[in-house]
Structure 1
Amino acid sequence: MMVLVRSDARVLNERYELRQRIGGGAMGEVWLAHDSEARRAVAVKLIHRELLDPRAPEDVIRRFEREAELLARLRHHGIPTLHDARLDPEAGEPYLVMELVLGQDLTEIVEERGRLPEDEVVSIAVQICHILEYTHAIPVIHRDLKPANIMLTDYRRVMILDFGVARIFRTDYARLTQHNRVLGTVAYMPPEQCEGRDVNPRSDLYSLSCLLYELLTGVPPFIGDAARVMYHHQYHAPIPVSVLCPGVNPGLESVIMAGLEKRASDRPATAREFRERISSQPLEPEESVVTSSHMAVRVPALHSPSRAMAEILPVEVRVTQAQALFDEGLIAQSMPMFASLAQELEELGSEYVDEAAKCRFRHARCQAHLGLQEEALKGLRTLAEQLSARSSPDDRLLLEVRFQVGQLLLDIGDQHGISELADVYRVLTAVSRPEDAQMIVDVRRALTRASLG
């Protein structure tokens, strides 16, 4: 990201230089900033002063300090790190300083693409649940899950933003500001929050279900003005997903509708239960199982060619089929195809070894897209070793594999990813092939982002 810095750029606390506004909403503005002490790029959230309760500023300050201290201890690759937090009603705007996360939030993605494919929705849901399992065990409840707070990184990894912010500034309950603006995101607000009652982990699961409902249908469960939506959350059942999205997997619909039950006790009990139920729903009768050290995901076989068809079609045609499914976002369907094709090509002999390696690479990319980061990393490292043994250091596929290894390492918080990216960039720029121009740009951007972070 190229940022021009003015000489009169605003600086907070003689440390955080605000360089570019990158977002905003009901709670405040988000700025790309430079931390002069830590020498890194950060995200600064400036909180609207109207969120501070003038009747009890001391309560706000105590709540702010307590929650900020708790949030600073959260350590999960799906949660941006809280670096700093300041609240002084006399000195100016309160602000939070967070790890800079680059990507798109689900609001932007839905605006661009509309409804998302079922397997992508399941992948997003599984990753969100993994994060909630971690936070609910502490326990920390998000209280404001919504598309704008779910970010997908460049490698399609889910990050949940604004943990604790709703509790600090009490936007977890709908209320009017002094300017008669409703605070709290009522479209995703569980009935107990609409009624001002205490929340629990199942409250987050209701909000998650609202979010998934929208990803599948294009609209949240209830629409209208704030009062009408809150009333419907409390007393009306939503239109079934299948009415707005004909052909949706009944099992997937069942889990989401269970999460939208009015009584919290009728919803899935935990994020783990929600994850296990939503990830075990086949989109077709046939399915293959992918096992992870962290989860078991049943991968649907929707649109995969039958065995008879596989015997008829040439292998190169089936490789193209699998790639087309991947490009259409049908990741779970293309993944078993790539695995099967890689094995088949390897059995055909040494003349097919390069095509087999490409299928192994694509299979690992599918795993990463579905949240199976550790499996993908293991497969890519093995593939990199095999390619290094028989190829030159500037082999294009080897460099692509190493590029993905570097990004995955960074995704799981391993800073060795920077060294991997730097070495790939060094090799690419040294050979300087015209066909590598776009890859050089991609690696340079990834390396720059990692270095700034």
Structure 2
Amino acid sequence: MVPQLESQKQPIAGRYELLEEIDHGGMGSVWRGYDAVLDRPVAVKLIRQQSVTSPQLAEEFAKRFRREARITARIQHPGVPQVYDAVLDESYEQLFLVMELVDGVSLRSYNQPTQPLPVSWAAAVAAQVATVLSHAHAVPVIHRDLKPGNILIARDGTVKVLDFGIAAILRTDVTKLTATGTPLGTHQYMAPEQVRGGRTSPQTDLYALGCILHELLSGQLLFTADSEYMVMHQHVNAAPTPLRQLRPDVPTALEELVLHLLCKAQEARPADVQEVYERLVPFLPPPGSPDPAPGQAGPAGVPDPTGIFRKPYAPRSRAGRPTPVGQEAQHVGDPAAAQPAPVPAAVRAAIKAAYDHSDALLEDERFAQAAEVIGEVIEPAARVLGSESRQVLELRMNRAAVWLLGGDYRAALPEFDALADAYARTSGPTGGRARACRAQAARCRAELGQVTVALAALRDVLDVVRSVDGDVSEEAVELRRDIGMLFLAQGRTTEARDILEPLHADLCLVLGPDDELTAEIAEVLAVIRLELDGPLS
């Protein structure tokens, strides 16, 4: 851990909080952080102190960052995490880069000498990197430091290429020596022109991609030696070992592509990254193809990068989808379900602490962090209490409600859908919790523009509520109001009036004409009548 950060109490620039260190490399350490102004998680990279040798150099880094950030921000592709900010600390000795936080696994975790990746996995990684590079090279932006440590595989198998422009910020794209004689750069993936200190081009990134693909397929680095200098010498002078000599099952065409990428002369490599992608396509799983058999799958515990090719444009996975009935969940009416197991004291204390911490964060409208705090106890609680225990479902419902309050409707929607199913199994489909979750899911859909579907769902819930609790229960009144307002949002003013007029009459009887909600509905009806009954223009 960096000593200066052990006692880091104050947020960086008054807004970025450091929560925990998640990686440490040659450039510096990366921390999971929180942006208190925009209420979102971030990654914070601390540039190593050796790079910032004076306040003047730190200022230069910051200026260079802003210049490079303007360029890299033009790479419009989801595989390029965005860089948000550059902050100098008060001593002008450290530079913090604030970036989009990606939940994923480093490509370094995929390199296993005893178990090289399946051909389709390696091709899928390379093809996704090629896609990202095609957007970058069109700007034009050259990465200059492409390596497994700068590539993440997100949980859905999407490849993310990190640190675009960082090499340019630190000027590590050439092998200029520091005062100690240490080369700056990543020698294992350095193209010959970088070793020589020559001009780089998009083909420089292609050479690095060749190094990575060779490593994924063989399980070993392209070149190894006793010193960094000797490795760089090999990049300039030594011929790479053909892949099929190391692994005979590698297709000949794929071996030829890797050797083409690793040509010493830039102009001898593929013409562009689009050509590389086209040559990788035959080794990708076609759309609709089944998941690989267990013996043909890649390493355990890491995301499968072939999934986006098997199921292109597939919907997002349901977050926290409950286990089907008959496995961990119990049937409605099961006597054991009516007698929940006692909650261990440690779990009870962790849940209470999460609620207390979340409530404190909500007072400051820190919705994303409040949801994260609750989320951290859901899985441990589920392991002890069961995935559909009352306490676990309440935790999930609270997290979904926080997402809804914070406007993260895309996160809240699948969770409310899943919770509605879970409560239908454990408490019955007409139970209050199941109804509430279906209604909240419908409100999320409305916010996401799915108004017609949302209206149908809300009306279905209202029918159930009317049969159980009548027409003027608090739940029924809220649903009637929401339905009327959605009709109004669609321009269906007559239908809106037909819903809201009887609602207003009921509210006058139950709450009185001076109640805030009654007055709100009256104002809406006045506008509707003006539109419906006013003179035509």
Q: TM-score over 0.5 for the alignment?
A: yes
Q: 1:430 aligned to 2:420?
A: no
Question: 1:308-347, aligned counterparts within 5 Å?
Answer: 325=293, 328-329=296-297
Contact 2:62 2:95 in 1 (8 A): no
5 Å-filtered alignment, 1:17-56, equals 17-52=17-52
Looking at structure 2, the residues matched to 367 and 24 of structure 1 have their Cα atoms a distance apart, in angstroms, of 24
Matches within 5 A, 1:128-139: 128-139=129-140
* CA separation of 1:89 and 1:210: change in aligned 2, threshold 3 A: farther
- The answer to whether the 8 A contact 2:174-2:195 is kept is yes
Structure 1 residues 275, 324: closer, same or farther in 2, change over 3 A? closer
Deviations 1:246-291 (A, max 9, x none): 2211001110110000001111111111100122359xxxxx9659
Deviations 1:210-242 (A, max 9, x none): 000000111121112211111111111111111
| SS of alignment partner, residue 293 of structure 2 | helix
Partner residue in 1 for 2:165: 164
In structure 1, what is the Cα distance between the partners aligned to 2:199 and 2:179? 24
Tell whether 2:314 aligns with 1:376.
yes
Unaligned residue ranges in structure 2 (runs of 5+): 1-5, 319-330, 332-407, 427-537
Counterpart for residue 11 of structure 1: 11
The answer to whether the 8 A contact 2:215-2:221 is kept is yes
Could you tell me how far apart the structure 1 residues matched to 2:229 and 2:202 are?
A: 24
Aligned counterparts of 1:366 and 1:240: Cα–Cα separation in 2: 26
Counterpart in the other structure of 2:269: 267
Deviation, 1:430, is 1.9
Contact 2:44 2:96 (8 Å CA) reproduced? yes
Q: Which residue of 2 aligns with 1:194?
A: 195
SS in 2 for 1:227: helix
Quote the offset at 1:323 in angstroms.
5.7
- Aligned positions of 1:270-309 closer than 5 A: 270-280=272-282, 290=287
Using the alignment, how far apart are the partners of 1:74 and 1:130 within structure 2?
A: 12
Given that 2:108 and 2:148 are in contact with CA atoms closer than 8 Å, whether structure 1 keeps it comes out as yes
Which runs of structure 2 are paired with 1:75-224 in the superposition (5 Å)?
Answer: 75-87=76-88, 91-111=92-112, 114-224=115-225
Root-mean-square deviation (Å):
3.5
Letter in 2 for 1:266: A
Alpha-carbon distance between aligned partners in 2 of 1:148 and 1:366, rounded to the nearest angstrom: 18
Superposed CA offset, 1:290-327 (max 9, x none): 59xxxxxxx8xxxxxxxxxxxxxxxxxxxxxx666167
Q: Would the aligned equivalents of 1:194 and 1:230 in 2 still touch at CA under 8 Å?
A: yes
The one-letter code sitting in structure 1 at the alignment partner of 2:38 is A
SS at match of 1:127: helix
Secondary structure of 1:86's counterpart equals strand
Name the structure 1 match of 2:244.
Answer: 242
Pairwise CA distance, 1:36: 0.9
| Mapped contact 2:188–2:231 kept (Cα < 8 A) | yes
Task: Give the structure 2 partner of residue 441 of structure 1.
Answer: none
Cα displacement (A) at 1:422:
2.3
Contact 1:157 1:371 (C-alpha < 8 Å) held by counterparts:
no
Letter in 1 for 2:47: I
CA contact (8 A) 1:72 1:83 kept: no
Contact 2:104 2:155 in 1 (8 A): yes
Matched residues, number:
331
Q: How far apart in 2 are the matches of 1:89 and 1:172?
A: 29
Runs (5+) with no aligned partner, structure 1: 1-5, 283-287, 292-298, 300-321, 332-364, 382-393, 395-414, 434-453
Alpha carbons of structure 1 residues 222 and 10: separation in structure 2 relative to 1, 3 Å: farther
User: Does structure 1 retain, via aligned residues, the 8 Å contact 2:123–2:283?
Assistant: no
What's the CA shift for 1:44? Answer: 0.2
Given that 1:146 and 1:207 are in contact with CA atoms closer than 8 Å, whether structure 2 keeps it comes out as yes
**What CA distance in whole angstroms lies between the structure 2 residues aligned with 1:265 and 1:115?**
30
Contact 1:193/1:199 (<8 A) preserved: yes
Aligned letter for 1:369? G
C-alpha distance in structure 2 between counterparts of 1:9 and 1:88, whole Å: 13
Does residue 257 of structure 2 align to residue 255 of structure 1? yes
CA separation in 1, counterparts of 2:168 and 2:28? 15
Taking structure 1 as reference, are residues 148 and 114 closer, same or farther at Cα in structure 2, changes over 3 Å only?
farther
The change in CA–CA distance for 1:54 and 1:178 in structure 2 (over 3 A counts) is farther
1:450 alignment partner in structure 2: none
TM-fit CA distance, 1:123: 0.8
CA distance in 1 between partners of 2:216 and 2:305 (Å):
21
Q: Aligned partners of 2:416 and 2:171: how far apart in 1?
A: 47
For the residue of structure 1 that corresponds to 2:248, the secondary structure is coil
SS in 1 for 2:209: helix
Relative to structure 2, which stretch is displaced further, 54-63 or 142-151?
A: 54-63
Q: Aligned with 2:234: secondary structure?
A: helix
Counterpart-to-counterpart distance in 2, 1:190 and 1:152:
24
Counterpart amino acid of residue 146 in structure 1:
K
CA contact (8 A) 1:206 1:260 kept: yes
Q: 2:73 corresponds to which letter in structure 1? A: A
Asked if structure 1 preserves the Cα contact closer than 8 Å seen for 2:18 and 2:31, the reply is yes
Q: Aligned letter for 2:419?
A: R
The alpha carbon displacement at 1:103 in A equals 1.2
Q: Is residue 84–residue 98 contact of structure 1 (8 Å, CA) maintained in 2? A: yes
Structure 1 residues 290 and 237 mapped into 2: Cα distance closer, same or farther (>3 Å)? Answer: same
Alpha carbons 2:13, 2:87 under 8 Å: kept? no
Q: TM-score, normalised by structure 1?
A: 0.65
| Contact 2:134/2:273, CA 8 A, preserved across alignment | yes
Are the aligned partners of 2:157 and 2:304 in contact in 1 as well (CA < 8 Å)?
Answer: no
Question: 178-187 or 50-59: which moved more?
Answer: 50-59
SS in 2 for 1:23: strand
Q: Is the 8 A contact 1:151 1:159 kept in 2?
A: yes
Amino acid at match of 1:64: F
The whole-number CA distance in structure 2 between the counterparts of 1:27 and 1:278 is: 32
Deviations 1:27-67 (A, max 9, x none): 00000011111111110000013224769836544422210
> Distance between the aligned counterparts of 2:425 and 2:66, measured in 1?
52
2:296 maps to a residue whose letter is E
**88 and 367 in structure 1: CA distance in 2 versus 1, 3 angstrom threshold:** closer
**Percent same amino acid among aligned pairs?**
35
- Residue 468 of structure 2 is matched in structure 1 by none
Could you tell me whether the CA contact under 8 Å between 1:9 and 1:19 is conserved in 2? no
For residue 142 of structure 1, report the CA deviation from its aligned partner.
0.6
Within 2, Cα distance between the matches of 1:16 and 1:127?
Answer: 31
Are the counterparts in 1 of residues 107 and 148 from structure 2 also a CA contact under 8 Å? yes
Change (3 A) 1:419 1:94: same
Asked whether the 8 Å contact 2:88–2:96 carries over to 1, the reply is: yes
SS in 2 for 1:29: strand
Q: What SS does structure 1 have at the residue aligned with 2:111?
A: helix
